[in-house]
Structure 1
Amino acid sequence: MTGTALARRRRTRRIAAAILVALLVVVFLASLAIGQFTIGPDKLWSALVRDPAVELESNVLWQIRTPRTVLAVLVGAALAVSGALLQGLFGNPLAEPSVIGVTSGAGVGAAVGIVFGLGFAGTATIPLLAFAAGTVTTVLVYCLAAVGGEVKVVTLILIGIAVNAVAGAATSFLVYLAPTTSRDQIIFWQMGSLNGAQWGQVATIAVPILVSLAVSIAISGKLDLLSLGERAAGHAGVDVRTLRIFIIGLSTALAAAAVAFAGVIGFVGLIVPHILRQVVGSGNRWLVPLSALGGGVLVMGADIAARTLIPFSDLPIGIFTAVVGGPTFFLLLRRTLLKAGRV
């Protein structure tokens, strides 16, 4: 790449970062203001500073809207970065948490807790079960996909499809066993929602996600070394096998933590890194942190649509991400298969 092209790429990355930060702020404020009960611009600031004259708006803002919006940012950032890590690791835009079975596995764990009324950890029981099941599922998929110590993306995706099918069958069986109230809870959880978000949930999820995001950004440069090939990365001092396992674990931790509190919100880790890669290139030093911003914007936007599209209804977020993500996955898969056919 010439000096002029490199300077142009850097300028594009800075502009993209500035746009995403601005979008994050604008959509965040819109999420605070928009809903079944709209808080006008003239009252938004007063509600933020808890002016007694707008007590109702303040209560809605701080008890309902703000925890929900902050949770949306955390969940979106976690899912998008999880996808960016997997795509950088395997060098393929098809790698994504929901595609390889992480989210469906977490869904089975949550369904088990709901159906059998488990409560060994209080309100954290369902998230803990979802996190544990998502982690176990990832380990299983990785072990099944590893052939001679190497994991190929196509094999990983095919096994992920099989695992998704098995997990879907297990969840359906649990739904059949569940009483009506639990059945509704499982079905709604499977489609993803931030409805009922509380500050306790935000506090619980914030620490692991923020730490994992910071670590992801710190090691993003090593992902760029992996793109040069395992031998070149090894010569650069990278322990490829250890790094590969660490990145898969980190990606799983991010995805499972997000799914544990928000339910199954698919394709965020596919859509956001793919779009940003077209704009800023495949360099992970920029792609990973920008994916965190883009994921937050996407999930907040989907959440606004979920609670405003139909009056007095709160639709599942997963509906909106799947509408965009499904066709995107199909197009990427077709492109990958065409490339493989040429080779």
Structure 2
Amino acid sequence: MILGLLIVVTVLVSSGTGPVDVSPSEALRIIVGHLVPNMPWMLDGSITLLQDQAVWQFRLPRVLMALLAGGGLALAGTLMQAVVRNPLAEPYILGVSAGAGVGAVLVIVLGSAVVGGLTLQAAAFGGALVATTAVYLFARQRGAISPTRLILAGVALGSLFSAITSYLTITTDAQNVFSVLFFLLGSVSAVTMNQLAAPAVVLAVVLLLALTQGRSLNALLMGDEAATSLGVSVQRLRGGLLVATALLTGTIVSVAGGIGFVGLVIPHVCRILVGSDHRRMLPAAVLAGGLFLALADLLARTVAAPTEIPLGILTALVGAPFFLWLMRRKRAGRAGLNR
């Protein structure tokens, strides 16, 4: 409830913050006016056309996308940490984000024809799926997935994909370099309302799927043998959830770019707040991740205005010191950092 209330406040504050002066109450009225037809304040001239456009067309879509991207990355990190039983697992460390980045950068640099006419979003998802499949295959040992090999394969393949992305960046035309770098560091500045549908649907589907597997994920915390003895098909669960996280990560990276540390830090914070039971932790992670990235986006466009800071820079500046501080606290064990 607290996270939900903070999200509502953040949406209103973010929607009202910018060069065009709009108060949180006016932002609320504009949002309600678009959702409910014929509201009097939308017709009596108390809300100007410039204020209406600033909130509905520019600020609200980006804060909603920040909520979806943050929630999706936090959910992906939570699932990966549970599936591989490693507190360092997240889309970046397992190379999934890097694979999605390669697909997207190929479209930016060489055009869609090089990937069979796929859109940037489809190419990013394809890259994420290729990365997940490769990591999965390299991590298999005697017919089972080794969590340690999964992390090692993810780090190695992530470095390979990053090298490919760097090569594409330095060999492209100068006018493409800024677009590539801004995409790789993450931004929701150019998001429109039409782009919200796909991430929202994918996030909802993956969250519902994960919630139905809450007890199985809890069983995995006790180890593969214990989970198997409780009737959990460990390999099937791992494979299904890894594909789901690839779909989620690819969808988010395709519209918001590369954003790190959300999937790593937020799950540990949520374990401290609500415990390790995934039936409570999964929705908490989605809300906390969305709130974190929405606040980061608000800072990104105000702290150095009129220049906008890429989201990946802010999440790293905030996430890395906080994660190191968290490791030093006595409650690090509750967050799963002392394994």
TM-score by length of 2: 0.88
| Alpha carbons of structure 1 residues 140 and 329: separation in structure 2 relative to 1, 3 Å | farther
Aligned equivalent of 1:216? 210
Contact 2:16 2:23 in 1 (8 A): yes
Q: How does 1:41-60 map to 2 (within 5 A)?
A: 41-48=24-31, 49=33, 51-52=42-43, 53=45, 54=47, 55-60=49-54
Aligned equivalent of 1:69? 63
Aligned equivalent of 2:173? 179
**Amino acid of the structure 2 residue aligned with 1:132:** G
Which shifted more, 113-122 or 235-244? 113-122
Distance in 1 (alpha carbons) for counterparts of 2:129 and 2:152:
18
Aligned equivalent of 2:9? 26
Aligned equivalent of 1:9? none
Pick from 108, 116, 123 the counterpart of residue 129 of structure 1: 123
Contact 2:135 2:150 in 1 (8 A): yes
The answer as to 2:18 corresponding to 1:35 is yes
Distance in 1 (alpha carbons) for counterparts of 2:28 and 2:322:
39
Q: How does 1:109-128 map to 2 (within 5 A)?
A: 109-118=103-112, 125-128=119-122
Contact 2:104 2:124 in 1 (8 A): yes
Distance in 2 (alpha carbons) for counterparts of 1:82 and 1:245:
14
CA deviation digits over 1:206-253, x for unaligned, max 9?
A: 222221222122222210122233233223322111111111111222
| Alpha carbons of structure 1 residues 46 and 19: separation in structure 2 relative to 1, 3 Å | closer
**Amino acid of the structure 1 residue aligned with 2:227:** A
Aligned residues: 322
Distance in 2 (alpha carbons) for counterparts of 1:121 and 1:174:
14
Contact 2:145 2:235 in 1 (8 A): no
Aligned equivalent of 2:241? 247
| Alpha carbons of structure 1 residues 313 and 339: separation in structure 2 relative to 1, 3 Å | closer
**SS of equivalent residue, structure 1 residue 137:** helix
Which shifted more, 247-256 or 106-115? 247-256
Higher relative contact order (CA 8 A, sep 6+): 1
Q: How does 1:75-86 map to 2 (within 5 A)?
A: 75-86=69-80
Contact 1:94 1:329 in 2 (8 A): no
**Amino acid of the structure 2 residue aligned with 1:22:** L
> What's the offset of the Cα at 1:189?
0.3
Gaps of 5+ in 2: 35-41
- Give the aligned CA root-mean-square deviation in angstroms: 2.5
| Alpha carbons of structure 1 residues 98 and 331: separation in structure 2 relative to 1, 3 Å | farther
**Amino acid of the structure 2 residue aligned with 1:33:** G
Contact 2:95 2:131 in 1 (8 A): yes
> What's the offset of the Cα at 1:181?
2.0
| Alpha carbons of structure 1 residues 38 and 273: separation in structure 2 relative to 1, 3 Å | farther
Which shifted more, 243-252 or 202-211? 202-211
**SS of equivalent residue, structure 2 residue 119:** helix
Distance in 1 (alpha carbons) for counterparts of 2:325 and 2:239:
29
The answer as to 2:102 corresponding to 1:108 is yes
Aligned equivalent of 2:230? 236
- More helix, by proportion: 1
Which shifted more, 179-188 or 76-85? 179-188
Distance in 2 (alpha carbons) for counterparts of 1:295 and 1:212:
15
**SS of equivalent residue, structure 1 residue 37:** coil
Gaps of 5+ in 1: 1-17
Aligned equivalent of 1:285? 279
> What's the offset of the Cα at 1:185?
0.8
| Alpha carbons of structure 1 residues 148 and 265: separation in structure 2 relative to 1, 3 Å | same
